[in-house]
Chains A and B, each alone.
Chain A
Amino acid sequence: MNTLKTTQCGETVTVLKLHGEGPIKRRIMDMGITKGASIFVRKVAPLGDPIEVTVRGYELSLRKNDANMIEVE
C-alpha cells in the first residue's frame, strides 16, 4: 500500500482513502486531505520529520506517523 509517508519529495499524488479514526483523522480531513484530493509533497523537515505538502492551494505540515494513515495511489 502506498501512503503519503512513502511518497517521495516532489511527487504529486491523489488520496485514495484515509485510515484510522478519531480526532487525528477528522483533523486531517478538515484540513482538506479528503478522498480524491491532490497532494504535492514539498519537503521533509531538516531532522527528517515532519513533512510539508501542498493541498488545496496551501501549505500544510504533518508528521510522518500521521501521513502513514493516508493511502495514496
Chain B
Amino acid sequence: MEIKIALAGNPNSGKTTMFNALTGSSQYVGNWPGVTVEKKEGRLKGHKEVVITDLPGIYSLSPYTLEEVVTRNYLLNDHPDVIINIVDASNIERNLYLTTQLVELGIPVIVALNMMDIVNKNGDIINTEKLAKALGCQVIETAAIKGTGVKEAANKAVELVRLKRITTPQHVFATDVEEALDIIQGQLSKTVKASQKRWYAIKLFERDDKVMSTLGLDAEIQKKIEKIITDCEKIMSDDAESIITNERYEYISRIVKKCTIKKVTGMTTSDKIDRIVTNRWLALPIFAAVMWLVYFISISSLGAIVTDWTNDVLFGGWVTNFATGALESVGAADWLIGLIVDGIIGGVGAVLGFLPQMLILFFFLAILEDCGYMTRVAFIMDRIFRKFGLSGKSFIPLMISSGCGVPGIMASRTIENENDRKITIMVTTFIPCGAKLPIIALIAGAIFSGATWVAPSMYFLGIGMVLISGIILKKTKLFSGDPAPFVMELPQYHIPSLKGVLTHMWERGKSFVIKAGTVIFVACGVIWFLQSFSWGLQMVDPSESILASIGTVIAPIFAPLGFGTWQATVATITGLVAKENVVGTFGVLYGISEVAGDGVEIWSRVAADFTVVSAFAFLVFNMLCAPCFAAIGAIKREMGSWKWTWITIGYQTSLAYAAAFIVYQIGSVVFLGQNFTILTVIALAIIAFVIWLLVRPAKKLIPVVAAQH
C-alpha cells in the first residue's frame, strides 16, 4: 500500500531541509497543476512505498494567498494519509498557529519540533510530553540540519497511518462560538466527510468565500449560516475572522506558557548583526557594497572570464572543431554540418555559455537568501520600489539583468508575491544586458561617431521603461488582484550550510538547462534553417534565404520606425537567438563575413542606411523588444505558462514599437526638420495615452486601510 506523507509548516521552519533529509536525492520538482507554486515530491529513503510531498511554506490556511490555497486544496482533496507539521521550536508561538488549523482537517498529524539544537543552545526548555498532550498529537524533537529525529518522525508517521488514528483537535473555542459551529456543522450535507466537518464549519464561520463556493450550499442554508454568524459576532462584539484568530492565539499562549521555559537572555548574535546591517545610516552603504561584490564577482570579473571561456574556447573552439571534424570524417552533408555546428551548437552553446556565470551568481544568491539577508534587502528597498509597482526584492533581478537577463529573470524567484514577481519578470530585460552592448557600440560608432552619451542613454531608457511599466502594469486588469500586504517575517541570521547553498544553486541551474534548453534548441534550429535555405530548399547565402524574403515582407512594419530595410529587419530577428547576433548579421548581409564586436568594418554601410533618428529608433527597438530565446526560455520557466510568456513578449514588443515610433516620428520633425504628418499626430497621441495609463486610477481600487472609528 502506498502511503502519502505531506510536509506542512511555516516558511523558514526548515521544511526543505527536512524534505531533503527524508528523501535523499530522489525528488521530483514540478508545479502544482495550473499554478506556478513549486511542488516537490520524493520517496522516503529506503521505503519506496512512502511518497512525501513538500507543501509550500505558509503561515495559515486562510484563503488569501496562492500558497495557502494550494496547500489546503491538496490537504482536503488529495487525501494525504498523514501530515508531518514542521514547527520551528525557536519560534514556537507563531508556528503553532498553523498547527491548530492542521489538526482540524481530520488527518493524522505529527508535530516535528524542529531546530531543537538552537533551543538547546539558547538554554530554553520545551516539555514535549506536555505539548503533545495539549495539542492532541505526537511531538518528535528534530534538528533537520543535523539529521537528528528525522527518521523517527517518518517512522512515527507511517506507524500512525497503519494504526488509522485520526488526530482530534483539543482546542475548544468560546461556548458561543462552539454553539454556532455546531449548528453550522448540522447544516452541512452528507457530501462533507464527517472528519472534515469541523474544518468546513470553522471556515464557513470565518466567511471563507472559497469554501462557500466549493460547498455550493443553497441560498436558504447560506442565509441561515449568515444569521448564526452575525448573532455570534454581536455577542462577542468582534468580527468572526478576528474571533477565531484571537482565540487560537490565546490558546497557544496558554500552551506555550505551560510547556516552555525560556531563558531570559540579552541580545542574540543575530540581533547584533541586524543592528549593524539595517542601521539607519549603515544599511544603504552595506547594501551597495554587498550588491557591488555580488555583481563584480559573478558578472564582471570571475563571471566574465568563465563566460568568455565557455563561449569562445569550449563551444566556439573545442566543441565546434570536434563536431565539424567528426561530421566531416564520416562524410556528412554540408547542410547537416551547418545545422549541427552553426545552428544547434552555435545557438545552444550561446545559451549554455551563460551557465557557469549563472551558477556563480546563484551561489551568491543562495548564500544571501539562506543567511537571511535577502529579506533585509526587501526591508531596506521596499519604500522605493513599492512606488513603481515592484517589490523591494525586484532590485536584485534588475541589477543582475545588466549583466544577463537570464539569471536576472531567474533571480525573481526570491519575490514571494506573484504579481510583483510577474511584473519584475516582464520588465527586467529592459535593462541593457551585456549582449546588447555590441549593438549600442555599432550604432554609436557608425552613426554618432562614438558619442559617449549613447550608451548611458540606453541605460536611462531601460530604467525609465521599468518604472513606467511598473506603474502601468500594476493598474491593468491583469494585476488588479488584492494588493499583497507587505507583512514579512525577518528570520534570524544564520550561517548557511554549504550543502544547502550548493543544492539551491544546482537546482536552479538544472531547471534552466532542461526547461529553457528545449525552447532554445528548437528555436535556434528554426532560425538557422530560415537563414540558410531558400524557398527551393537550396542552401544559399543569407541574403537570398527564406529569412531574407520574410524580412522583406515584414520590413514595411518597421518603416514607421525608420528602419524598414530587410537587412535591419533580419538583423532584429536573428537578435532573438542572441542579441550580439544583430551585429554579426549586419556583417553577413552587407557582405563582410568577419566583423569585430562593434562592427567597425561595416560602419560606413550602416551609416548609409540610417539617419541619426532612425538609428536611434532602431537602437531603442532592439533594447526593449522581445529578449533572446534564452531569456524567453527563462521567462517561460518562471512564469510557468505559455499564456504569460506570450503576454510578456507581446507587452515588451509593443512597448518597444511604441517607443521607437515616438522617437522616430517626433525626432524626424524636431531634429531633421521634416514635415508634421498624421504619423506625428499618432506619436503625440501615443504619448498622451501613456500619460493617461500612468495617472489613471487603478482598475480595482486598492482597499484603503484607513483606521475607522
* A contacts, CB < 8 Å to B: 1, 3, 18-32, 34-37, 43-50, 52, 56-63, 65-66, 68-69, 71
Contacts and interface: CB of A to CB of B under 8 A. Distances in A.
9 contacts: A23-B62, A24-B485, A26-B60, A28-B485, A46-B283, A52-B490, A56-B249, A59-B274, A63-B386
B482 A63 contact: no
Contacts of A20: 703, 705-708
B489 A18 contact: no
A45 to B, nearest CB: 6
B382 A45 contact: yes
Contact of A45 (B60, B250, B380, B491): B380
Contacts of A23: 62, 64, 482, 484-485
Interface stretch (B89-97, B330-338, B442-450): B89-97
B242 interface: yes
B653 interface: no
Nearest to B98: A30
B379 A50 contact: yes
A43 to B, nearest CB: 7
Interface in B459-498: 482-492
Given A22-B482, A24-B485, A49 B707 contact: no
A30 B380 CA distance: 24
Interface of B: 59-60, 62, 64, 91-94, 97, 238-239, 241-242, 245-246, 249-250, 262, 274, 278-281, 283-284, 375, 379-380, 382-384, 386, 482-492, 703, 705-709
Contact of A58 (B241, B386, B489): B489
User: Which of A3, A45, A68 is most buried by chain B, counting CB atoms within 10 A of its CB?
Assistant: A45
Closest 5 CB pairs of A and B: A30-B60, A47-B383, A59-B490, A23-B64, A20-B705
A32 B482 contact: no
Contacts of B707: 1, 3, 19-20, 68-69, 71
A49 B485 contact: no
Given A24-B703, A32-B93, A48 B489 contact: no
B469 to A, nearest CB: 22
A62 B486 contact: yes
User: Which of A46, A52, A66 is most buried by chain B, counting CB atoms within 10 A of its CB?
Assistant: A46
A45 B93 contact: no
Contacts of A43: 278, 280
Given A46-B283, A58-B91, 8 more contacts: A19-B706, A23-B482, A24-B483, A49-B382, A49-B383, A57-B94, A58-B489, A66-B705
Contacts of B241: 25-26, 29
A68 B705 contact: yes
B94 A26 contact: no
Contacts of B239: 21
Nearest to B91: A58
A46 B280 contact: yes
Nearest to B275: A43
Contacts of A63: 382, 386, 485-486
B433 to A, nearest CB: 28
Contacts of B278: 43, 45-46, 52
Contacts of A27: 62, 64, 485, 487
B700 to A, nearest CB: 12
A69 B92 CA distance: 26
A46 B284 contact: yes
User: Which of B92, B94, B280, B707 is most buried by chain A, counting CB atoms within 10 A of its CB?
Assistant: B707
Contacts of A26: 60, 62, 64, 241, 245
